[in-house]
Amino acid sequence: MNLPVRHAAKPQIEACPQETGALLPVALTAHLRRLESEAIGIIRDCFAAFRRPVLLYSIGKDSSVLLHLARKACAPARLPMPLLHVDTGWKFREMIAFRDRTAREHGLDLIVHTNPEGLRRGIDPIASGSALHTRVMKTEALRQALDAHGFDAALGGARRDEERSRAKERIFSHRGPGHAWDPRDQRPELWSLFNTRLAEGESMRVFPLSNWTELDVWDYIEAERIPVVPLYFAALRPVVRRAGTWIMVDDARLPLAPDEQLEQRMVRFRTLGCYPLSGAVESAAATLPAIIAEMRAASTSERQGRLIDGDEDASMERKKREGYF
């Protein structure tokens, strides 16, 4: 189930990708320019320091921003690392379509990996529960793919404002054998003098967007006109009410309880994952300015709609210690 999908390279990527965009770019604020340069600096250190880096591409807004920055970091050259998508088999159909279109349009090297063992065991987010599903189809699958390809550094779009254990993590986060994170013994990280050295069997997770906030990400998407999956924008979608949130019925695999009713509602998503585990919010925000305005007024955090974080206390930290992203 290891499908390297390779697309022919586009003839030549232009030096400054957005210059050729049909729309004029909005000038970035000093704040965003500083974050952008910081992220590009981090990404270039990865190009130079690691034998085989990979960009973990989860198709969400943060991945879109990360990919955009990685392409800027190497422009006009072709991205010198592949994209890895760990596919649980339960992503929204619109996400998969967006992923394949993005890879095709930019001539990217996309690797899609699904845990064959999990498929064989029939692990799914509904019957197996989100904890087991996450462990097998995300954590284990990621470890499999990283080991199989010998990636020594994996770049991801995680931000420190997402969750309080992420707020504790280094930008260059060292992982011991088995990809385990040891939060009690992180390497000191001073200035931007990153320690990129690894012993055999060790690897690095790198988070160029560490210091960005959710709002920074949206402001940047707007200013740079970065395409994102349409699910972020409000539209009429088939949903059911479940666990205090709206779950979209993306295909026929979602069993409905007798008291659950399929409804059409104007909803959108703040984060994207496996569709049975991603809650939507009711919203009329169908444009970027509307989304940003809605977010400024929001009284809940973006992770609120995710059904997986509430599984157990400190679940994110535990997953990371087991080698989760």
Partner 1 sequence: MAFDAATPNARETLRFLACGSVDDGKSSLIGRLLWETGQVMDDTRAALARDSRRFGTTGEAPDLALLVDGLEAERAQGITIDVAYRSFATARRSFLVADTPGHEQYTRNMATGASGCDAAVLLVDARKGLLVQTRRHATICALLGIRDLVLAVNKMDLVDFDEATFHRIAAEFAALATSLGFRSATSVPISARDGDNVTTASAAMPWHDGPPLLTLLENLPLQRPELAAPPRLPVQWINRASPDFRGLCGTVAAGTWRRGDAITIATTGATSRIARILSPDGEREQAEAGEAVTLILAEEIDAARGDLLAPPDQRPAVATQFAADLVWFDAEPLFPGREYLLRAGTAWTPCTVTRIRHRLDIATGATEPADSAAMNEAVLANLSTLQPLAFDPYAECRPTGGLILVDRATNRTVGAGMIRHVLRRAANIHRQAGLVTPTARAALLGQSPRVVWFTGLSGSGKSTIARLVEQRLHAAGRATMLLDGDNLRHGLNRDLGFTEADRVENIRRAGEAAKLLAEAGLIAICAFISPFRTDRRMVREMLPPGGFLEIFVDAPLADCIQRDPKGLYAKALAGEIPNFTGIGSPYEPPEAPDLILRSTPGTTPEMLAEAVLARLAAP
* Residue ranges in 124-183 that form contacts with partner 1 under rule CB under 8 A: 160-161, 163-168, 170, 183
Triad 132, 133, 136: Cα angle to 5°: 80
Interface with partner 1, residue 201, by CB under 8 A: no
Burial class (CB in 10 A: 0-12, 13-18, 19+), 35: buried
Binding mask 210-239 for partner 1 (x = CB under 8 A): xx-x-xx--x--------------------
Stretch that binds partner 1, among 51-59, 134-142, 148-156, 185-193 (CB under 8 A): 185-193
86, 185 contact by CB (below 8 A): no
- Burial string for 181-194 (b: 16+ CB within 10 Å, else e) reads beeeeeeeeeeeeb
Binding to partner 1 (CB under 8 A): which residues in 10-69?
12, 15-16, 18-19, 25, 27-34, 36-38, 40-41, 44-45, 47-48
- The only residue of 7, 78, 104, 265 in contact with partner 1, by rule CB under 8 A: 78
Count CB neighbours of 157 within 10 A. 26
Q: How many residues does the chain have?
A: 325
Residue 230 phi/psi, 5-degree rounding, is -60, -20
Does position 193 interact with partner 1 (CB under 8 A)? The reply is yes
When asked if residue 101 is in the footprint of partner 1 (CB under 8 A), the reply is no
Query: Any contact of residue 76 with partner 1 (CB under 8 A)?
Result: yes
Q: Least Å distance between CB 100 and partner 1? A: 25
Distance in Å, CB of 236 to partner 1, minimum: 26
- Of 265, 290, 298, 311, which one interacts with partner 1 (CB under 8 A)? 298
Q: How far is CA 194 from CA 73, 104, 189, 200, in A?
A: 17, 33, 6, 19
Stretch that binds partner 1, among 103-111, 118-126, 187-195, 261-269 (CB under 8 A): 187-195
